[in-house]
């Protein structure tokens, strides 16, 4: 197996969440040549703010034969892409069409008529990053609820149980029924999360690594957010089946190649598991300035359309990139 990489930078249009700035983000696309002659592509986009090792560290470790969870998933993605290209199919063709939520990283981007337009386009769910200005964010939720959109809140585990409790109890009665779930309301604490579930359904996302699954008596959350970019999908789905959880597949706010891979997984899981799989969260390419890859992505309301080509698409763009072989040490 030969591995090649091509570095890139993504330029956020604004601060992406409560733990990240608007600085450029580093990542690398991977090309893997397999012994059977297949070639596949994937993305590697770390979030050090969320505990990932840096891109430089992960590539350096890979040269020494050590693979992080992210690298393992990237190689898994590359294999899926390679097999699809060999079979002359697109990965989207193996799954079922699935809606995406609209991601709102900063409530200040909402202008008059914006929410009504989202509804007209076919969106039924809006995900909002919260935790920077809870008073103003709570006020904005009343406007979102007024147009009838379901709401997903993401605290990124910032804050505490008491802050979360005050925030939820202060919400108008018109808002709370429309909250589908709250992601990582505060740092993972099984007992406190059980209490949090009394206020809203809770989703486990970036706290996944803290859960001692073999010691659970009851899951203190209702939804598992599956990020294929860093999580073993089969194991995650097995957890959902055992603990009767719903699942929402999201991209990792990464490169369009990563976005497309994540949605392909979401579509396949939707076809196989039906109602267990909630709307996806894979329209994150809009968070960055457009580049040649993002320009290839087309949407139809909450749906991401398949990119022209085989596997995940982007054939000509991927072939034209400067590739550097990752030589082992």
Q: Which of 31, 99, 127, 129 is catalytic?
A: 129
Which 8-state DSSP code applies to residue 310?
S
Strand order across the 324-325 sheet: 39-44, 25-33, 2-10, 324-325
Q: Are 116 and 142 in contact (CB under 8 A)?
A: no
Separation between Cα atoms, residue 220 and residue 177, nearest integer Å: 20
Active site residue 129: yes
Determine the length of the chain. Answer: 329
Q: Which of 31, 99, 150, 227 is catalytic?
A: 227
Q: Are 1 and 41 in contact (CB under 8 A)?
A: no
Separation between Cα atoms, residue 170 and residue 172, nearest integer Å: 6
* 293-314 burial: b if 16+ Cβ within 10 Å, else e: beebbeeeebbbebbebbbbbb
138 contacts: CB under 8 Å, gap ≥ 6: 167, 170, 171, 175
156 contacts: CB under 8 Å, gap ≥ 6: 17, 18, 19, 50, 129, 131, 183, 184, 206
List residues with catalytic annotation.
129, 227
């Amino acid at each position: 197996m030969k591995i090649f990489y091509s570095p890139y930078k993504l330029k956020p249009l604004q601060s992406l969440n409560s733990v990240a700035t608007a600085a450029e983000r580093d990542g690398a696309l991977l090309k893997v040549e397999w012994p059977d002659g297949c070639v596949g592509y994937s993305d590697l986009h770390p979030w050090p703010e969320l505990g990932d090792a840096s891109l430089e560290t992960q590539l350096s470790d890979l040269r020494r034969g050590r693979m992080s969870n992210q690298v393992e998933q990237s190689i898994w993605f590359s294999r899926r892409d390679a097999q699809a290209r060999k079979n002359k199919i697109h990965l989207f063709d193996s799954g079922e069409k699935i809606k995406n939520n609209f991601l709102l990283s900063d409530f200040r981007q909402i202008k008059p008529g914006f929410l009504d337009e989202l509804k007209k386009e076919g969106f039924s769910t809006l995900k909002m990053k919260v935790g920077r200005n809870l008073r103003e964010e709570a006020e904005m939720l009343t406007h979102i609820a007024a147009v009838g959109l379901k709401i997903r809140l993401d605290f990124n585990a910032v804050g505490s149980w008491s802050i979360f409790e005050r925030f939820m109890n202060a919400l108008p009665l018109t808002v709370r029924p429309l909250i589908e779930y709250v992601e990582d309301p505060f740092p993972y604490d099984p007992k406190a999360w059980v209490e949090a579930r009394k206020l809203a359904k809770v989703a486990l996302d970036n706290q996944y690594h803290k859960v001692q699954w073999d010691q659970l008596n009851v899951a203190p959350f209702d939804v598992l957010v599956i990020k294929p970019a860093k999580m073993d999908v089969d194991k995650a789905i097995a957890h959902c089946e055992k603990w009767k959880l719903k699942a929402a597949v999201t991209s990792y706010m990464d490169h369009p190649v990563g976005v497309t891979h994540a949605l392909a997984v979401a579509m396949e899981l939707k076809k196989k598991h039906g109602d267990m799989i909630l709307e996806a969260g894979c329209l994150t390419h809009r968070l960055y300035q457009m580049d040649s890859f993002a320009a290839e992505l087309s949407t139809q309301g909450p749906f991401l359309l398949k990119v022209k080509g085989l596997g995940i698409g982007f054939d000509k763009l991927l072939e034209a990139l400067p590739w550097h072989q990752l030589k082992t040490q």
